[in-house]
Amino acid sequence: MSAQTSCNTLPSHIAIIMDGNGRWAKARGLSRLEGHRSGVKAALDIVRYAGELGIPYLTLYAFSSENWNRPHEEVTGLMHLLHFYLRQECKELIANGVSLRTIGDISKLPHSVRDALADVCEKTKNGTRIRVTVALSYGSRDEIVRATRKIAQLALLGKLNPEQIDEALFQNYLDTQCLPDPDLFIRTGGEKRLSNFLLYQVSYAELYLSETAWPDFSRADLDSALAEFARRQRRFGRTSEQVVG
C-alpha cells in the first residue's frame, strides 16, 4: 500500500505472529499440542473480533517454512488440528463474512489438508467482511525467491523486459499480491524477531510486541494494540511537520 496515511484510526491490515503456544502449554503441564489447540481457539476469536471491528485484512502466521523441522509428532499433530478446525469452522467463517485464503508453499502440506483448505477457500470466497490470510508453510525468503523465479522465467521467454521490473510489478508476483501491506504487525509470546514473516511487506508496518502467549491473547489485548497503533505517528520517511501539516 502506498505511504499516504499519517493519521491512524484503525489499521486496514493486521499481521500477527501467533507465538508462545508451546511455552503456554509447558507452564500448565500440558502437551505442546494442547497449546496449539488453545492457540487455534484464540485465533478464531480474534478473527471474529477483527471482523466485528471492521478490520478488512488479517494475516495470521500459522506454520512457517522452518516449522517443518520440528519433531515429526508435533508437525503431524498440527496438520491434524488444522484439518479438524477447517472442517469444523467452515460454516461459522461463512456466517461471519470471512473470506479465507492462504500464502506460502502449500504444495508441501498433506493432501487432506490441501483439500480441506481448497474447500473452505471456495466456500468462503464471497465473504465481504474480512479477508483472513493464513500463512502456511510460509517463509518470506522462499516467497521472494519464488517470485524472482517467475519473473526471470517471463524475461527468458521474452514476455517481460527487465526494465519493466519495479516495486509494483514485483509485488504482483509475491503470494500477497492481492493484499495491501500490513499497517500493524503484532508478535505475541515475548520474542522480538520477525522469524521470516512478510519481510518485504512490513517495511513500514508499526510493530507491537506482546509478552502475552498466543493462547491468552484476548480481545482486550487486541484493543491495547489498536490503542497503541492509534497513538503512533507514521511518517514514511517524512518529517513530523510534513505529516501534521
Ranges within 35-74 binding ligand IPE (CB under 6 A): 61-64, 67
CB-CB contact of 30 with 39 (8 Å): no
Q: Which residues lie closer than 8 Å to 80 by C-beta, 6 or more apart?
A: none
**Does 221 help bind Mg ion (rule: CB under 5 A)?**
no
Q: Who contacts 32 (Cβ-Cβ below 8 Å, separation ≥6)? A: 21, 22, 25, 26, 74, 77
Choosing from 45, 67, 142, 216, the catalytic residue is 67
Considering CB under 6 A, how many residues would be counted as binding ligand IPE? 17
Pairing of strands 98-103, 57-64: unpaired
- φ, ψ of residue 116 to 5 degrees: the values are -60, -40
In this structure, which amino acid lies at residue 34? E
Question: Could you write out the DSSP letters of every residue in 125-191?
Answer: TT--SEEEEEEEEE-HHHHHHHHHHHHHHHHHTTSS-GGG--HHHHHTTSTTTTSPPPSEEEE-SS-
Site for ligand IPE in 170-189 (CB under 6 A): 189
**Smallest distance from Mg ion to CB 189, Å:** 6
The answer to whether residue 142 is catalytic is no
Interacting residues with Mg ion between 5 and 34 (CB under 5 A): 19
- Using the minimum distance from each CB to ligand IPE, give the nearer residue, 25 or 147: 25
Among the options 19, 175, 183, 221, which is catalytic? Answer: 19
Q: Is 196 in the site for Mg ion (CB under 5 A)?
A: no
Residue 213 interacting with Mg ion (CB under 5 A):
no
| 67 classed as catalytic | yes
Question: Contact positions toward Mg ion, by CB under 5 A?
Answer: 19
Supply the residues annotated as catalytic.
19, 67
Question: Contact positions toward ligand IPE, by CB under 6 A?
Answer: 17-23, 61-64, 67, 78, 189, 191, 193, 195
